[in-house]
Amino acid sequence: MCSVINNQHSTFNGQVESWVLWVDEVLIAINKPGGLRSLPDGYNPQAPHLKSLLEPIYGRLWIAHRLDKETSGVVVLARTSEAHRSLNTQFEQHTTQKVYHALVKGTPEWEEKIIDLPLRANGDRRHRTVVDSQRGKPAVTRLQILERFKNNALAEARPETGRTHQIRAHLAAEGFPLAGDQLYGGGEPVPSLESFALHAKSLSLRHPVSGEPLLLEAGYPSLFQSVLEALRYLNI
């Protein structure tokens, strides 16, 4: 039996408890707001990050994976070292399934596409992840167009590997960078979002103790939803 957990995104200044999608003795899953770091900032260690906000409420936590600061959506953390080991194994062996929704710049002609391009992290002077057929690591992303607008498209991305900035780099390599992703050629930040629009919509894994399949789902941030509604209404 598959457990499905839904929760709407809260604002960064909302109550931390409202981000929670699932919590038990060994696991917590949240709908991370965009703009919040998964790990401490090396330049500003006092800046808020997931553990600094969650640990005062839920006790010691271990991070098994992370999202970019600007990316919103599902993140799971372990509440015991044993659960952390189990989650790490699942992510390392790619037995988890991640689904992202991305607003891209441009309108692809294709409906579905598999991008199979090796990637190398920190590959240029701007510290971007780059396609590198010689020194890159294997990286595969499955894409499907969900909705089309005049100058943009909403795409679903299912990464089969977990390279740094994989979705951002693969989309940029195909000529359809995330809208507003200035690092990868997506132009100015999307109005209202002040960044790029990438949301970790769902994550499938097995519970680290019971082994039960879990499907964790996170609703769109309110600003992401508003941008999509504006694109539909204005046909831009």
Kind of pairing between the strands at 62-63 and 27-32: unpaired
d(CA 159, CA 98): 7
pLDDT tens digits for range 32-67: 998 899 988 878 878 899 999 999 999 999 999 999
Report the predicted TM-score, pTM, of the whole model to 2 decimal places.
0.91
Is residue 181 part of the annotated active site? The answer reads: no
Q: Could you please report the per-residue DSSP string of 51-110?
A: HHHHHHHH-S-EES----TT-EEEEEEESSHHHHHHHHHHHHTT-SEEEEEEEEES--S-
Lowest mean pLDDT among 8-17, 185-194, 205-214: 8-17
- For the record, the structure tokens of 149 come out as 């607008």
* Residue 231, SS3 per DSSP: helix
Catalytic residue, from 24, 41, 68, 132: name it: 68
Is the distance from CB of 179 to CB of 101 less than 8 angstroms? no
Instruction: List the domains of the chain with CATH numbers.
Output: 13-234 (3.30.2350.10)
Question: Is the pLDDT reported for residue 9 higher than 60?
Answer: no
d(CA 174, CA 93): 27
Mean pLDDT taken over the chain: 91
* Torsional sign, CA 112, 163, 183, 34: positive
pLDDT tens digits for range 147-174: 999 999 999 999 999 999 999 999 999 9
What is the reported pLDDT for 213?
A: 97
Instruction: Provide the percentage of residues in the chain whose pLDDT is more than 90.
Output: 81
Question: Is the pLDDT reported for residue 6 higher than 70?
Answer: no
